[in-house]
Amino acid sequence: MANKPVSTSATRERPVENFYLEELQFDLRNPRYGASAASINTEREALDYIVSMFGVNDVLSSISVNGFFDSEPLVGILLNGERRVRVVEGNRRLAACLILAGDPRAEGQARLRDQFAEIYKAHGRKPISPVPVIVYKGENALREVLPYIGVRHIVGFLEWDSYAKAAWVDGVLQDHDLNLNEVQEMVGDKNDTIRRMLAGYRFVNQLVRTGHFRPDQSQRKGRGSNPDYPFSWVYTALDNPPVKEFVNFLERDGVPAENPIPEDKLSDAGLILTFMFGDKTRGIPAVVEDSREIGDLAKAIKDPALRNRLKEGKKLRVVIEEARPSVERLQEGFQRLADQLKDMSGLIVPGSLDSSAAMGLVEPARLVANLSKKVFSDVRNIAIGEDEVDTE
């Protein structure tokens, strides 16, 4: 190896150091990997995932033409007793550098390497390694880097999607001597958003672990780090007290338990996700068609009769409509019909219809008139009694 990297002058609160690419490694627990994190076990898998899910063409193009900007260093944690750094910020840039340098971890990206290496050479760029890194060191390094990551990606201008945020929060609580209130204060979360997302994250992952939910069988697709289903629907559903009561959601001092669903309620909890997302393997369609219906789902869940209707496969909107008081449905129906008839009467103007066209409308009009007369008669009979009805 060439001369060892040397520290540059500090341009931030922490000094920036140069590290060779072989001294840098991906963070295999990066929250942005989302639901796929469990299947990423090597750095090559991490690099390939970053390329496929987030793309690096823009970074490759920028580095090929302009070189690596020293003003945008990577951020990492120095591993104890090693001259190696785990990169916690800048994984796309690291992936691009490894591709351009022909690193073995980028073996699966030969096409991209060939495409951009020529551009890199054409612009006379020097070898890509080493690169600048802001390094956190010592036994408190992990804790010290948390505010940087939190502010940048949880509430900052480079926000992660909700599943990645929840994964980060869960990891912080598992790995550090911090409580949820401290994490919220750290990132300036004043709307309790982190608590809501954590509830959804621990809820859905317990169901996945216990086999009560298979994300790949969801009929409703998500996006970002969690493409199998819309994660925001999960924690939105848990915002409704009837849903939490139905599954007996466990919390301690307002903090979701690591496994918040009691064993005897796992099937019920899985039912909530089936209602929202369906199940392709079992041929069960989702009964919730829009996220705006989640509040209505909570109403239906607490009513055994309505819940059974949903189990039969009835759409939620139909079940909720059927459960409304008849007088409400009639009032809205009469108003809707009256509005439609007003619109239709405006189309019936002498000269706008010829006689043959009008003749074809006589029977449909008669049918509507007869039905209207019957409905009016039935309502009047109930309102004033049959004996009082004028039969003239």
Residue 154 within any structural domain of the chain: no
CA distance 132 to 68: 9
Residue 32 within any structural domain of the chain: yes
Claim to verify: residue 283 and residue 168 sit in the same structural domain = yes
Domain ends where: 323, 342, 373?
Answer: 323
Say if residues 287 and 315 touch (Cβ distance below 8 Å): yes
Claim to verify: residue 121 and residue 212 sit in the same structural domain = no
Residue 89, H or E segment: strand 85-89
Local confidence band at 153 (pLDDT 50, 70, 90 cut-offs): low
Residue 150 within any structural domain of the chain: no
Dihedral sign, Cα of residue 124, residue 126, residue 127, residue 133: negative
Residue 306 within any structural domain of the chain: yes
pLDDT tens readout for residues 305-342: 999 999 999 999 999 988 877 777 778 778 888 888 88
pLDDT for 158: 60
Claim to verify: residue 375 and residue 319 sit in the same structural domain = no
pLDDT for 232: 94
CA distance 67 to 97: 10
Residue 19, H or E segment: strand 16-19
* 274 pLDDT above the threshold of 50: yes
pLDDT for 46: 92
Claim to verify: residue 236 and residue 275 sit in the same structural domain = yes
Domain containing 27 equals 16-138
83's CB contacts (< 8 A; 6+ apart) are 23
CA distance 91 to 28: 10
Task: State the CATH number of the domain containing residue 132.
Answer: 3.90.1530
Claim to verify: residue 225 and residue 285 sit in the same structural domain = yes
pLDDT tens readout for residues 289-307: 999 999 999 999 989 999 9
Claim to verify: residue 185 and residue 64 sit in the same structural domain = no
Q: Is the pLDDT higher at 25 or at 177?
A: 25
Claim to verify: residue 229 and residue 362 sit in the same structural domain = no
Q: Environment class of residue 61 by beta-carbon count within 10 Å: exposed (0-12), middle (13-18) or buried (19+)?
A: middle
CA distances from 208 to 213, 266, 325 (A): 5, 10, 39
In a 13 Å sphere around the CA of 209, the CA atoms on its Cβ side amount to 12
* 38 pLDDT above the threshold of 80: no
What is the total count of domains within the chain?
Answer: 3
Claim to verify: residue 172 and residue 122 sit in the same structural domain = no
CA distances from 221 to 85, 233, 276, 289 (A): 36, 11, 11, 12
Residue 299 within any structural domain of the chain: yes
CA distance 139 to 348: 84
Q: Which of 65, 86, 71, 67 is closest to 19 using CA atoms?
A: 86
Claim to verify: residue 176 and residue 118 sit in the same structural domain = no
Claim to verify: residue 169 and residue 318 sit in the same structural domain = yes
Residue 30 within any structural domain of the chain: yes
pLDDT for 389: 52
Q: Give me the percent of the chain exceeding a pLDDT of 90.
A: 39
Claim to verify: residue 171 and residue 296 sit in the same structural domain = yes
52's CB contacts (< 8 A; 6+ apart) are none
Local confidence band at 288 (pLDDT 50, 70, 90 cut-offs): very high
Phi, psi of 50 (to 5 degrees): -60, -45
Claim to verify: residue 281 and residue 361 sit in the same structural domain = no
CA distance 257 to 271: 20
Long-range contacts of 312-316 (CB under 8 A, 24+ apart): 313/284, 313/285, 313/287, 314/287, 315/287, 315/289, 316/275, 316/287, 316/288, 316/289
* 3 pLDDT above the threshold of 50: no
Residue 345 within any structural domain of the chain: no
pLDDT tens readout for residues 130-151: 889 998 887 777 777 877 777 6
Residue 143 within any structural domain of the chain: no
